[in-house]
Amino acid sequence: MTTRVPALRRALLGSLSAGLALAVTATVAPPGSATTDPPLDAPRSVPSDAAQRSAADTSAQRAARGQVRRPLVTAHRGASGYRPEHTLAAYQLGIRLGADYVEPDLVSTKDGRLVARHENEISGTTNVDDLPQYADRETTKTIDGEPITGFFTEDFTLAELRTLRAEERLPDVRPDNTRYDGRFQVPTFEEILRLVRDHNAKPGRDVGLYIETKHPTYFDSIGLSLEEPMVRTLRRFGFDEPRSKVFLQSFETGNLRELDSMTDLPLVQLMDVVGGPYDLEAKGDPTTYEDLASRQGLRGVSEYADVVGPEKTLVIPRNADGSADRRTALVGDAHEFGMRVHVFTIRDENQFMATDWRRGDDPNAKGNVFGEITSYLDAGIDGFFADYPDSGVDARDAWVAANR
């Protein structure tokens, strides 16, 4: 399935008018566009691709032309601004607050069961440090080339992992969430699918799943591949149908190409602001996320992915003083190659925003999140991840109403 199916993409990612669809699926920019590839005889003074993107208010028309009418709001790790992340309570609240999708990150247990944790190292998100029976499980491992000391899901059976309780990952930023420490278990993938399936069986608004495979190269290296059990479980629960509301995402490239041969569900290439895909790094390939976010890189990504998921400053960078710079050409370029753009992560607290949207000097105080979201929607994005899904839904709905 190395060629993505346009009809499926349109069905899964939102319909457009015929004229807009033609613009979105075009593989080259229209004649005269300021962001087309330079001619072969262009003078040496032509700006680099990165320079073109950083000055790319010129891409606004292309970005808007391919934008969906109602951008998606995904509850990031559930409603993680209000509950400890990756718990059934966080997912349930994300659904109640109106999110279109909830996001589980998947890792494996020792006995091959998929569970939801942001990382396989769990000392920061569970009470494992407090349980003496597991003290000897602490160890140092190399994950994606970095040494990490702690407790890892792959060293626990599911039964053992279920004796742990979730804790707030950012207690200094979100102290109110610590009142829920100890109340919730680490959920299995099956439990999350059942939660969403049961919600969707009731009359009303269906919710989707936005699933990330974590550290796929590492898990492959220890014989606990994530992709096959994930796809099997999705099929068992009826979430691998052509119109299922499911996205599959990864920071790596190889497992997305593998998934492209296993399922027709839309695939999302995540892009961080630093570094590069670890599967490429492990092979000695120096490709960075910045390379993938370039016009040439996006053309290659479109061969296997339906969506790009950039860290938000790849769309609206920041100046040295922390203020927002002009938008890049990433959104317009992705739209030209037939892909949607879903950015991460929108958070309400000042410290996670450009200075343009901060209010006061307290880094943990709430900033002008509605202004920030509006700026990204104006930049043409098709969706975003939010720790506070209610803020995201309110801002998105106001923007949609104003742009009808």
Taking the C-alpha atoms of residue 133 and residue 124, their distance in angstroms, rounded to an integer, is: 18
Choose, from 76, 86, 215, 342, the residue flagged as catalytic.
76
| Backbone dihedral angles phi then psi of residue 139, each to the nearest 5 degrees | -155, 175
- To the query of whether residue 335 is one of the catalytic residues in this protein, the response is no
Q: How many CB atoms lie within 10 A of CB 147?
A: 8
> At residue 92, what is the residue type?
Q
* SS3 (DSSP) at 218: helix
Residue 258's H or E segment, with its range, is helix 254-260
Q: Which tokens belong to 131?
A: 């349980």
- Comparing CA positions, the residue from 375, 353, 373 lying closest to residue 364 is 353
140: left (phi over 0), alpha (psi -120 to 50) or beta: beta
- The CA-based angle 400-340-103, given to 5 degrees, is 85
E strand spans, 222-366 = 246-250, 267-271, 307-310, 340-346
86 within 8 A of 116, measured Cβ to Cβ: yes
- Comparing CA positions, the residue from 293, 234, 286, 285 lying closest to residue 262 is 234
Choose, from 86, 118, 335, 342, the residue flagged as catalytic.
118
135, burial (CB in 10 Å: exposed 0-12, middle 13-18, buried 19+):
exposed
| Backbone dihedral angles phi then psi of residue 304, each to the nearest 5 degrees | -130, -15
Q: Which tokens belong to 155?
A: 């060293």
Taking the C-alpha atoms of residue 251 and residue 335, their distance in angstroms, rounded to an integer, is: 20
303 within 8 A of 310, measured Cβ to Cβ: no
4 within 8 A of 302, measured Cβ to Cβ: yes
Q: How many CB atoms lie within 10 A of CB 311?
A: 16
User: Among all residues, which ones are annotated catalytic?
Assistant: 76, 118
